[in-house]
Amino acid sequence: MSSTPQAAASAAGSESDHQNLIARPSVGATADPRVRSVSTGDREVAHALIRKNYRVTRLEGEGPAPFVYSRAVSGDDRFALCRFEYRRGRLLTESDPSGFLVAGGVMAGRMSLTTRGHDLRITPGLPVAFPSHDAKTTESFDLVLGQVMLDRGAVERELGAMRLTAPGGLRSTATEAVSVALGRYWSELVLHVHQNVIGNDAAMASPLVRGSAFRSLVAAYLETFETNVVALGGADGLPPLPTTVRRARAYIEQHAHDDIGVVEIAEAARVTPRALQLAFRRHLDSTPMAELRRARLRGAHGDLVMADPTLGHTVAGIALSWGFAHAGRFAAQYTAEFGRSPRDTLES
């Protein structure tokens, strides 16, 4: 893969580039059909490409030879990961807001960001969210950065299902992660999406898996970075879910395949195990472990859908990989959750 397996990062991509992510022919060194890439050693060509792919109103670039520019994008129409490289030189751009929520971090080199309300020197490895509604000036030297681009319209449509709303339209309101732990969580999630979703043919062929990756990125973005999102009661009249419960559910979704329990989930939610149990009982009429079991059932369901029994895939093997050691109990729980047996799903 040409896109880097690290925390993905800054600057906003253009609508035309994102909307044509799947259809546009690949240009450059990669043969991976999931990746659309371009590279050049000609600085003037690079500047033309940057103007095309970003809403640039001013661009200055200079430096010694040999010069390297490359850009690789992979994902679907709701989310994309991008690796941007402008080596051996200084690049200054002024650009208008885009249609995306963009976050990530510098991987090599130096970069500064200036907007109406921010003046930031971005430290390599530090995840940041770029202000989404302000024009911005960026200056970089020998830069390699990653980008996670979330389509704003798709994210706003997802908010309703999360009992959230963004008055006046969704926007980021700060740059740094709200905590070191959540910044680390964001970076680990991006790495997971890169390696296990975008880097996996079967996963990318599954609308269910791609949708789960998108929703996980949305939840992590909203928890990791400050936005204007506020809670909204559902149509059923229930109160909104508190941040503690939403953070715990996002952690469960991301780590369902890991050896985790109430202690780890509570630590991610930044509360005690007892407080977490009470919050789940009050707001979900459930428990953290019951939610973890459902997440693992969803994971097993995804594997069963993609499995091929002619290749030796079995219900027992898939169940065991998701922590279900008792085949009969797994079958009963799966049938109750999905309305059909796991064997029916595997053989359909």
Q: 126-137 pLDDT, tens per residue?
A: 898 887 777 889
Residue 72 pairs in a beta bridge with 37, 83
Q: Is the pLDDT of residue 232 over 70?
A: no
What's the rounded mean pLDDT across residues 289-299? 92
- Which range among 5-9, 20-24, 311-315 has the greatest average pLDDT? 311-315
Q: What is the pLDDT of residue 9?
A: 33
What's the rounded mean pLDDT across residues 61-81? 93
H or E element in which residue 59 lies: strand 56-62
Q: Minimal CA–CA distance to 337: which of 277, 305, 293?
A: 293
Tokens at residue 33, please?
Answer: 């059909």
Please provide the average confidence, as pLDDT, over all residues in the chain. 82
pLDDT band with cut points at 50, 70 and 90 for residue 233: low
CB 66 within 8 A of CB 105: no
pLDDT (tens digit, 9 = 90+) per residue, 54-67?
Answer: 889 999 999 998 99
CATH number of 15-153: 2.60.120.10
Token look-up 């079995």 returns 314
Q: Could you give phi then psi for residue 104, rounded to 5 degrees?
A: 155, -135
Fold of 157-294: Arc Repressor Mutant, subunit A (1.10.10)
15-153 matches 157-294 in fold = no
- Rounded to an integer, what distance in angstroms lies between the CA atom of residue 174 and that of residue 301? 38
- 124 Cβ partners below 8 Å, 6+ apart? 105, 106, 107, 108, 109
Q: Could you give phi then psi for residue 9, rounded to 5 degrees?
A: -135, -140
Q: What is the pLDDT of residue 7?
A: 34
pLDDT (tens digit, 9 = 90+) per residue, 153-167?
Answer: 899 888 877 777 887
CB 35 within 8 A of CB 201: no
Q: Is the pLDDT of residue 348 over 50?
A: yes
Indicate the domain borders of the chain: 15-153, 157-294
Q: Minimal CA–CA distance to 149: which of 45, 11, 332, 327?
A: 11
Q: Which of 80-84, 233-237, 284-288, 334-338 has the lowest mean pLDDT?
A: 233-237
Q: What is the pLDDT of residue 35?
A: 63
- 54 Cβ partners below 8 Å, 6+ apart? 11, 12, 13, 14, 93, 95, 98
- Rounded to an integer, what distance in angstroms lies between the CA atom of residue 297 and that of residue 293? 6
Which three-class secondary structure state does DSSP give residue 79?
strand
Give me the count of residues in the chain. Answer: 348
Q: What is the pLDDT of residue 63?
A: 93
Q: What is the pLDDT of residue 224?
A: 87
Q: Could you give phi then psi for residue 285, rounded to 5 degrees?
A: 50, 45
Higher pLDDT, residue 199 or 241 = 199
Q: Which of 126-135, 164-173, 229-238, 252-261 has the lowest mean pLDDT?
A: 229-238
Q: Minimal CA–CA distance to 264: which of 275, 277, 273?
A: 273
Q: Is the pLDDT of residue 297 over 80?
A: yes
Residue 91 pairs in a beta bridge with 61, 140
Q: Is the pLDDT of residue 92 over 60?
A: yes
